[in-house]
Amino acid sequence: MSDARENGNRSKAHTDEAALSARLKRLGEGLARQRADETFNDASENRAATASGYAKGFRLSSELVGGVVVGAGLGWLIDRGLGIAPWGFIVFTLLGFAAGVLNVMRSAGVVPSRGRDDGGGRER
């Protein structure tokens, strides 16, 4: 009688192990899918953040370079027109650099930009 009981317990233990093994396998597959989804989402978020950083960097650098180029161009034109070379070029290049730095600081949010009030015509 004890043999029949032991065989019953063995077969029950075997089916419990099989069920447990199947559950463990399903859990492992689910975790693998979850990790793959998280990796994909993290990669796409990192790409978006990197692209956004590049865009902001290009915008800031172009504002600085633009200010210097415009200042140098105006200084060169003034030098050619008035014949005071190289003083107009030097002064306006420095002014263009200062304007470029100010534009970069405004774009970056370090310095608040000048804005109009509610149409009253006064600047803040």
Question: pLDDT (tens digit, 9 = 90+) per residue, 28-58?
Answer: 888 888 887 776 666 677 888 888 889 999 9
What does the pLDDT read at residue 90?
Answer: 96
Cβ-count burial of 92 within 10 angstroms (0-12 exposed, 13-18 middle, 19+ buried)? Answer: buried
DSSP H or E run through 109 = none
Q: Which two tokens stand for residue 124?
A: 């803040």
pLDDT score for 124: 45
Residue 37 to residues 44, 46, 49, 101: CA-CA distances in angstroms?
A: 11, 14, 18, 43
Which residue shows structure tokens 């975790």? 31
Report whether pLDDT(9) > 50. yes
Map tokens 């865009």 to a residue.
Answer: 55
